[in-house]
Structure 1
Amino acid sequence: MLYQLPNRIVARIGRPGTYEIALRELQASRWLATSGFPVVRALDVHQPTLVEDRPVTWWELLPEHRSATPSELGAVLRDLHALPLPAETPLPEHNPLRGLSTSICGASTVSAADRSWLLSHLHDLEKRYRELPEGLPRCVVHGDAWQGNVAVIPQRRPVVLDLDHVAIGRPEWDLIPLAVDRMDFQRISEAEYRAFVTAYGGFDVTTWPGYRPLADICELRWLCFALTKADSNKRAAAEAEHRLSCLRGDIPRPWTWSAF
Structure 2
Amino acid sequence: MLPSCVTASLYSLDRTPEKIDFVTTGRTTVDATLAEAARIAGFDITGAELIRDGSNVMYRLPNRVVARIGRPGTEEVAAREVRVSKWLTKSGLSVVQAVADAPQPVVIDHRPVSWWKLLPDHRPATPAELGTVLRSFHALSAPADPQLPAHDPFSHLGQRITDACDVDDDDRAWLNGHLADLRQRYREFEAGPRRVIHGDAWQGNVATPDSGPPILLDLEMVSLGRLEWDLIQLAVDYTDFARITTEDYESFVTAYGGYDVTTAPGYRTFADIQELRWVCFALSKAEARPDAAGQARHRIACLRGDVARPWSWTAI
TM-score (norm 2): 0.79
CA contact (8 A) 1:70 1:196 kept: yes
**2:226 paired with 1:170:** yes
Match of 1:77 among 115, 130, 134: 134
> Is 1:185 matched with 2:241?
yes
Aligned counterpart, 1:58: 115
Equivalent residue number for residue 64 of structure 2 = 8
Amino acid at match of 2:246: E
Query: How far apart in 1 are the matches of 2:171 and 2:88?
Result: 41
Aligned residues of 1:18 and 1:54 also touching (Cα < 8 A): yes
Distance (Å, rounded) in 1 between the aligned partners of 2:211 and 2:199? 26
Number of residues paired by the alignment? 259
Please report how far the alpha carbon of residue 133 of structure 1 lies from its aligned counterpart in structure 2 after TM superposition: 7.8
Residues 1:252 and 2:308 are matched in the alignment:
yes
CA–CA separation in structure 2 for the residues paired with 1:19 and 1:84: 25
Partners of 1:19 and 1:154 lie apart in 2 by 34
Counterpart of 1:222 in structure 2 is 278
Over residues 178-214 of structure 1, what are the superposed CA-to-partner deviations in whole Å (9 max), with x where a residue is unaligned?
A: 0000000000000000000000000000000011000
- Determine the structure 2 residue equivalent to 1:41: 97
CA contact (8 A) 1:67 1:148 kept: yes
- Of 174, 177, 191 in structure 2, the residue corresponding to residue 120 of structure 1 is 177
- CA shift, 1:84, in A, is 1.4
Q: Kindly name which structure, 1 or 2, has the bigger radius of gyration based on alpha carbons.
A: 2
Deviation at 1:102, TM superposition (A): 0.6
* Secondary structure of the structure 2 residue equivalent to 1:41: coil
Name the aligned partner's letter for residue 157 of structure 2. Answer: L
Deviations, residues 160-195 of structure 1 (Å, cap 9, x unaligned): 001111101111110000000000000000000000
What amino acid is the match of 2:180? H
Question: Is 1:129 equivalent to 2:193 in the alignment?
Answer: no
- Note the alpha carbon deviations across 1:21-46, whole angstroms, 9 max, x for none: 21221121111112111110112233
Q: Tell me which of 215, 233, 245 is aligned to 1:159.
A: 215
> Equivalents in 1 of 2:58, 2:284: separation in Å?
19
Residue of structure 2 equivalent to 1:107 = 164
Deviates more, 1:100-109 or 1:50-59: 50-59
Query: Using the alignment, how far apart are the partners of 2:305 and 2:76 within structure 1?
Result: 37
Contact 1:42-1:60 at 8 Å conserved across structures: yes
Measured after TM superposition, the shift of residue 139 of structure 1 is: 1.4
| Structure with higher RCO (Cα < 8 A, 6+ apart) | 1
Separation of aligned partners in 2, 1:86 and 1:21: 16
How far apart are residue 12 of structure 1 and its match?
1.3
- The answer to whether the 8 A contact 1:71-1:196 is kept is yes
Structure 1 partner of 2:49:
none
**For residues 70 and 144 of structure 2, what CA distance do their matches in structure 1 show?**
28
Deviates more, 1:47-56 or 1:143-152: 47-56
Instruction: Compute the RMSD of aligned alpha carbons.
Output: 1.4
**1:258 Cα deviation from its structure 2 partner:** 0.8
TM-fit CA distance, 1:65: 0.9
Is this contact kept in 1: 2:80–2:146, CA < 8 A? no
Residue 19 (structure 2) aligns with: none
Q: Which amino acid aligns with 1:218?
A: Q
Q: Distance in 1 between matches of 2:73 and 2:152?
A: 19
Does the CA-based 8 Å contact 1:133-1:209 persist in structure 2?
no
Residue 11 of structure 1 deviates from its aligned partner by 1.5
Q: 2:83 aligns with which of 22, 27, 30?
A: 27
Distance apart, 1:88 and its partner CA = 2.9
**Overall identity of the aligned pairs, in %:** 58
Cα pair 1:91 1:167 within 8 Å, conserved: yes
Shift of residue 134 of structure 1? 7.4
Cα distance change on mapping 1:31 and 1:71 into 2, 3 Å? same
